[in-house]
A = this chain, B = another copy of it.
Amino acid sequence: MVTAEMASARPGAETPIPAIAFSGVRKEYGAHVAVERLDIEIQEGEFFCLLGPSGCGKTTTLNMIGGFAAATQGEIRIRGEIVNTTPPYKRKVNTVFQSYALFPHLTVSDNVGFGLKMAKVSRADAAGRVLEALKLVALDAFADRYPAQLSGGQQQRVAVARALVNRPAVLLLDEPLGSLDLKLRKRLQVELSQIQREVGTTFVFVTHDQGEAMAMADRIAVMNEGRVEQVGTAREIYSRPASRFVASFIGESNFIPIQGRDGQVVTAHAGIRLPAPGGAPAGNGTLMVRPEAVRLVPAGTDDPGLVGRVVKLSFLGSFTRASIACPEAEDPLIVDMSTELNAGIREDALVRLSWEDKAAVLFGEENH
């Protein structure tokens, strides 16, 4: 017994203690299960993203770290300590709330300075830090306004400044850049990343914007219906999605029903051979390929391979997106082409689609 314990204790002592660890956490609101089962570890100094569709439990997860929702089951640890019953003000964690939760009776600068006041930071120090934080979010000119006098994006920036100014050990951000325009968002993404690197703070960042998650996060957890479907780096998740849900949630993707036949992958419908990596599944399955990995060439009706008709071309700035109706797939397949390269492709034209073997990902039936 003792040895077993010691053996299990040792590796713990060697690997670093995670900043935040969920084990078997579940959260119910009455009959509604908001988080089904959560087992994740977030490392110290990591920029961690929670990504998932609306209502999947991201805010609930963050609330459990912050201390605003009590886990129904399981354990939550911050730096190794179980915090299931620790009150919010004893956790060295600050939150940017999705609904901002600004104090309506305080000015912008008093809102931002609230945490410092609570921490008994000297007035002069506090004033300096508040100003700095407001500068960061480009709101120094608005210091004396009340929240009701700000635009939606400005309020959100106040919320960001209010959390950042406290330099917490763990910073929780619930869609903190959601109502900001691209430019400001990009700037704050960079600033946040920089701050995170400088201060070494652990960031847990909730976003519904995969681009943002990919640009900023060290690791991303993709959530769905109260469960984590995959944890990994942006590249891992994008190029090796663990499930059909992840593939479709992150980035654009095309799904084609397939069958494995003689170690080869063929479409389920007409049995056309498709380029695919080795290890075709035994039975039915799905092949996923990203729009930008597909090459199009004009084709005739009777060409071999995967052929479809261009039903729509849309100009999307840096590239043009083609939607291609193809009998082998339920939904139109989408293909992104460099704007300069789309010369020959017109709406209503027939095209042949192809891609490199390793660009495709195969899912068996179990990954739905």
Contact = CB atoms under 8 A, between A and B. Distances in A.
Nearest to A314: B215
A290 B315 CA distance: 15
A238 interface: yes
A156 B98 CA distance: 12
Interface in A289-304: 290-293
Nearest to A185: B208
Interface in A303-345: 314-319, 336, 338-340
A117 to B, nearest CB: 27
Contacts of A149: 29
Contacts of A252: 318
A182 B208 contact: yes
Contacts of A339: 292
A231 to B, nearest CB: 18
A292 B319 contact: yes
Contact of A59 (B98, B151, B174, B238): B151
A317 B99 contact: no
Interface residues of A, number: 56
A230 interface: no
Given A181-B249, A292-B339, A338-B338, A54 B153 contact: yes
A248 interface: yes
Contact of A315 (B157, B235, B293, B316): B235
A66 interface: no
Given A211-B317, A214-B316, A151 B181 contact: no
A252 B317 CA distance: 9
A183 interface: yes
A215 B316 contact: yes
Contact of A336 (B54, B59, B154, B318): B318
Contacts of A178: 178-179
Interface in A131-153: 149-153
A54 B175 contact: no
A44 B211 CA distance: 35
Contacts of A282: none
22 contacts: A52-B181, A53-B181, A53-B184, A54-B153, A54-B154, A54-B179, A54-B180, A55-B153, A55-B154, A59-B151, A98-B152, A99-B152, A153-B208, A179-B179, A182-B209, A182-B210, A234-B315, A235-B315, A238-B315, A250-B317, A290-B318, A318-B336
Interface of A: 29, 51-55, 58-59, 98-99, 149-154, 156-157, 174-175, 178-185, 208-211, 214-215, 234-235, 238, 248-252, 290-293, 314-319, 336, 338-340
